A and B are shown apart, each in its own frame.
Chain A
Amino acid sequence: MDIEGNVPYTFREVYDDVFPVLLKVVFHIVRDMGAAEDLCQEAFLRYYNKRIPLPSVSESRYWLIRVAKNLSFNYRKRKGRESVAVDRIKLESKSVQSDSQEDLIREEDKIVIRDAVDSLPVKYRSVLVLKEYGELNYKEIAKILHISENNVKIRVHRARVLLEKKLSIGDFHVF
């Protein structure tokens, strides 16, 4: 790596590449768009202030997602279940404006599934959020979480089994 800190990409390139994924991942952990925006900003600030630049955009992506994910889980720990309530309040205010019953049902279905994902233990929730919302593959998830690809495979499957249970019992039958 160049000691002068010259890297073959710009901050803006990294930002444009990573931001959409980062925002989705963070939102689905904290369930509050305002907080998600702040946490993404914080992650990029930390990236910007890093003393040692990363060698590539993809390494930057893994670093940013890892940091943002940790910031988000810490935020959740502080906030407890409050953030989920915010998500629901937003749904309710949205439903007032919505003119279509169908839209409303779709939004409610989304919340049911988000709640189910949200209720998973952290180790399964992390892989699922990264895979389905962050659209990352096993190899990328393994790099972000510092676990093996095989471990990712095991966790994804376990998450699916748990989700199946959550979504087919209680008041909602999504399937």
Chain B
Amino acid sequence: MCFNEQILSAFVDGELSEEQGESIESHLLGCGACRSRVEFYGILTEKVKFSGVDTSTFIQESIWTRLGHATSTSSRLGFWHRRFFLAPSVMVSLSFMFIAVIGIGFFLLFQDNGSNAFYVSNADEPFPSENFPVNIPVDSIEQILAYFDIYDEPMEVVIQLPDSSSFTIQGEPLFLLKANYTVGY
């Protein structure tokens, strides 16, 4: 009796038990139909594998660099388990700071008629220009991405932060200082 095609397909992948494999092998000796099925699955697998892309170690290393980690390949994890853990009070104050920054941004946006806040501009166009689109104020990353989906040309994205020095002094370093590197999960 012939085996069903699913079994033959799994046989080609070496996914059957030794016992099952042996019984199929002996069946194949006397059955042309099953044999040609097995041969076909084998060729198909080979063809698909052959169509696989070659990947280089160059790409692997460049992504590693992009990941921006590991100065030593042999070091134990170390920094890997540094976790940013922020107390609720710090979170709340950071949230307020964030809202304040956004608020300042909007203030500048309205004060300077859009030229000074969050905007994207078409890099190929002389600036300023009468042509559309030169300067598009946006207020979220999603809007920039949506723009990319529609217009596939190069563009410049400018994120304008407040000029005040207190932002850096009280913003980022505070955030880093408050981060608790010792807590693991």
**CB contact between A114 and one of B6, B43, B51 (< 8 Å): that residue:** B51
Report whether A11 and B63 are in contact in the complex, using a CB–CB cutoff of 8 Å: no
Q: Which A121-175 residues have a C-beta within 8 angstroms of B?
A: 128, 131-133, 137-138, 153-154, 156-157, 160-161, 163-164, 174-175
Report whether A45 and B67 are in contact in the complex, using a CB–CB cutoff of 8 Å: yes
Tell whether A10 is near chain B: CB-to-CB under 8 Å: yes
Report whether B10 and A113 are in contact in the complex, using a CB–CB cutoff of 8 Å: no
**CB contact between B52 and one of A3, A7, A16, A132 (< 8 Å): that residue:** A132
SS class of chain A's interface: helix, strand, loop or mixed?
Answer: helix
Provided the pairs A45-B67, A51-B83 are in contact, do residues A160 and B9 lie with their beta carbons within 8 angstroms?
yes
Q: Within 8 Å CB of B66, what residues of A?
A: 41
Q: Which B42-79 residues have a C-beta within 8 angstroms of A?
A: 43-45, 47-53, 55, 59-60, 62-64, 66-67, 69-70, 73, 75-77
Report whether A164 and B51 are in contact in the complex, using a CB–CB cutoff of 8 Å: no
Kindly state the separation between the CA atoms of A15 and B49 in the bound complex, as whole angstroms.
23
Tell whether B106 is near chain A: CB-to-CB under 8 Å: no
Report whether A153 and B6 are in contact in the complex, using a CB–CB cutoff of 8 Å: yes
Tell whether A20 is near chain B: CB-to-CB under 8 Å: yes
Kindly state the separation between the CA atoms of A137 and B52 in the bound complex, as whole angstroms.
17
Tell whether B81 is near chain A: CB-to-CB under 8 Å: yes
**CB contact between A156 and one of B9, B51, B69 (< 8 Å): that residue:** B9
B interface residues, how many (CB within 8 angstroms): 38
Tell whether B156 is near chain A: CB-to-CB under 8 Å: no
Tell whether A40 is near chain B: CB-to-CB under 8 Å: yes
Kindly state the separation between the CA atoms of A113 and B50 in the bound complex, as whole angstroms.
9
Tell whether A12 is near chain B: CB-to-CB under 8 Å: yes
Report whether A41 and B41 are in contact in the complex, using a CB–CB cutoff of 8 Å: no
Report whether A113 and B15 are in contact in the complex, using a CB–CB cutoff of 8 Å: no
Tell whether B125 is near chain A: CB-to-CB under 8 Å: no
Tell whether B40 is near chain A: CB-to-CB under 8 Å: yes
Kindly state the separation between the CA atoms of A138 and B9 in the bound complex, as whole angstroms.
12
B residues lining the A interface (CB < 8 Å): 5-6, 9-10, 13, 15, 40-41, 43-45, 47-53, 55, 59-60, 62-64, 66-67, 69-70, 73, 75-77, 80-81, 83, 149, 184-185
* Contacts beyond the supplied A41-B66, A41-B67, A52-B185: 19 A-B pairs with Cβ under 8 Å: A5-B77, A6-B77, A11-B70, A11-B80, A12-B64, A12-B69, A24-B52, A27-B53, A37-B63, A78-B149, A113-B47, A117-B48, A131-B13, A132-B52, A138-B13, A153-B6, A153-B15, A156-B9, A164-B40
